[in-house]
Amino acid sequence: MWIYLLLSIFALSFFLIQRKFSYWQRQGVPFIPGRFPVGSFDGVGVRNHPSQLLTKFYNERKGLHPFVGVYYFLQPVVVILDLDFAKNVLIRDFQYFHDRGLYYNEKDDPISGNLLHLEGSRWTNQRKKLIPTFSSGKLRMMCPTVLKVAENLKISFERCIAEQGEIEIKDILARFSTDVIASCAFGLDCSSLLELDDEFRRTGTKVFDISRWKLLKLFFVFAFGNVARRFHMKLIDEDVSEFFFKVVRETIDFRKKNLVNRNDFLNLLIQLKDKGELEGSDEKLGTLTLNEVVAHSFVFFLGGFETASTTMSYCLYELSLNEEVQERARQCVKAAISKHDGLNYDALLDMPYLEQCINETLRKYPPSTIYRIVTKNYQVPDSSIAFPKGMSVMVPVYAIHHDPEFWPDPERFDPNRFTPEECSARNPLTFIPFGEGPRMCVAARLGVLQTKIGLATLLMNFMFSNGANSTEPLQYSPKHFILTPVGGLMMRVEKIP
């Protein structure tokens, strides 16, 4: 009796799994075959980085169809292969694709209710409130705070090269990002650059410590979000969430009691929390709750920590291999500082070649794949194919950024790809490191500003070269969603006399 029951369950499970993996075939869509349990993403998180697998799919099927069907675990997913179709998803038909489909669970995990994860009208409402906090005027206001942290970055590099000629730069630059975010988003005078065991740094790194269990959980909640919510699953560990809530709550209380007013992102959030508008503006944006203030401060940390530090790291890595490019970037920085009487906001806006270097770094090492989810049934133009509500869509940014059709010799680092003339002649969808359309990263300019300040400070004071322990070509960790080099980035650093 039990044997027949088990055989029946096995047969039914086998049938359902096979039916799942025949979805694209039944729809008449070109597809990458999948197998249980990981679908088309063989070795993901173990041997292969998701971006590398998506690039493989892109290179195999581009030109055959505007998109290809793949399987992420048991879920059918669309991978876009055509720039015009990408424009449909990100811009033209945004009303069908306005959510990222990333897991969040505000009830059990309030910190997950941030702008990165929110959906529908909640996202629209919060985005409207936050966009003014990243205006040019607000960035100018926050610039001195970042410049102050950059002074410690210089001191930290000086200490390291006094002890050893070759240093691992990614950890130092991650500490720089930590201190910038702690200061701007949480109002803390954090000093992880000078104090290696700083509590904010120690707690913050837990967010990015990817154990095998956490990796499996991330894949599960992405593929089965509704099931994960029923089981009250959280993305952020309880102690990490409590720490960030405690920091924000205590900082707000301290500022109110002592009438402290700082030029930082947290102060802008406090203004929205208390008044529903920003000082100097008559626009009524609506108030924020404490949970929302913490969630938005946290996503500031989440987005800025890895993106800015890895971009600076990869940029210095490329400059260490290209002495002529490095010197040209250094002279660009020197000219701007001389023209504007120091390293300030106006000088940072007047560093075109350094910005070209940053853009070329973002092209070669884009932070992330773009994720969207179908929010209502979508009929593919000029086709009988329809995407049902809930279908996930991926735009393979790394693959597009390395497509030789758009970027000749894509593995070569060439900042001249980003001269004004080159940019105007190119389809803007070929360069999308921060996304595109209404769901584009609202803090992109702040991230670039932070990156510029870090690089300008270092180029003015140090020379970078390929050392004996440098790794080439780079290998990417399969355990991180953002492109992260295995073993860090070692290079030789010398003080400029």
Say if CB 485 and CB 474 are below 8 A apart: yes
19 pLDDT exceeds 70?
yes
Of 18-27, 90-99, 104-113, 236-245, which one has max mean pLDDT? 90-99
Q: Which of 136-140, 325-329, 359-363 has the lowest mean pLDDT?
A: 136-140
- What is the average pLDDT across 435-447? 92
Q: Which of 87-91, 191-195, 196-200, 386-390 has the lowest mean pLDDT?
A: 196-200
What one-character DSSP code corresponds to residue 414?
-
- What is the average pLDDT across 294-311? 84
In this prediction, residue 1 carries a pLDDT of 64
Question: Side-chain half-sphere of 473: how many Cα atoms within 13 Å?
Answer: 4
The mean of the pLDDT values for the chain is 89
Q: Which of 10-14, 306-310, 319-323 has the lowest mean pLDDT?
A: 10-14
| 46-495 CATH choice from 3.90.550.10, 3.40.50.700, 3.30.530.20, 1.10.630.10 | 1.10.630.10
Say if CB 97 and CB 90 are below 8 A apart: yes
Distance of CA 242 to the CA centre of its chain: 23
Residue 210: strand, helix, or coil: coil
Say if CB 491 and CB 458 are below 8 A apart: no
Residue 189: strand, helix, or coil: coil
The span from the CA of 378 to the CA of 386, in Å, is 5
15 pLDDT exceeds 80?
no
Which tokens belong to 259? 């009438």
Say if CB 25 and CB 31 are below 8 A apart: yes
In this prediction, residue 207 carries a pLDDT of 77
Pairing label, strands 166-168, 490-495: antiparallel
Question: Side-chain half-sphere of 253: how many Cα atoms within 13 Å?
Answer: 6
The span from the CA of 236 to the CA of 221, in Å, is 12
The span from the CA of 485 to the CA of 483, in Å, is 7
Which residue's structure tokens are 């000219």? 335
- Kindly state the percentage of the chain with pLDDT values over 70: 96
Span 370-419, pLDDT tens digits: 999 999 999 999 999 999 999 999 999 999 999 999 999 999 999 999 99
Span 49-88, pLDDT tens digits: 899 999 999 999 999 999 999 998 889 999 999 999 999 9
In this prediction, residue 474 carries a pLDDT of 87
- What is the average pLDDT across 471-477? 82
In this prediction, residue 412 carries a pLDDT of 97
Q: What is the CA radius of gyration of the chain?
A: 24
35 pLDDT exceeds 90?
no
In this prediction, residue 12 carries a pLDDT of 67
Say if CB 161 and CB 493 are below 8 A apart: yes
What are the two backbone dihedrals, phi and then psi, of residue 231, each rounded to the nearest 5 degrees? -95, 10
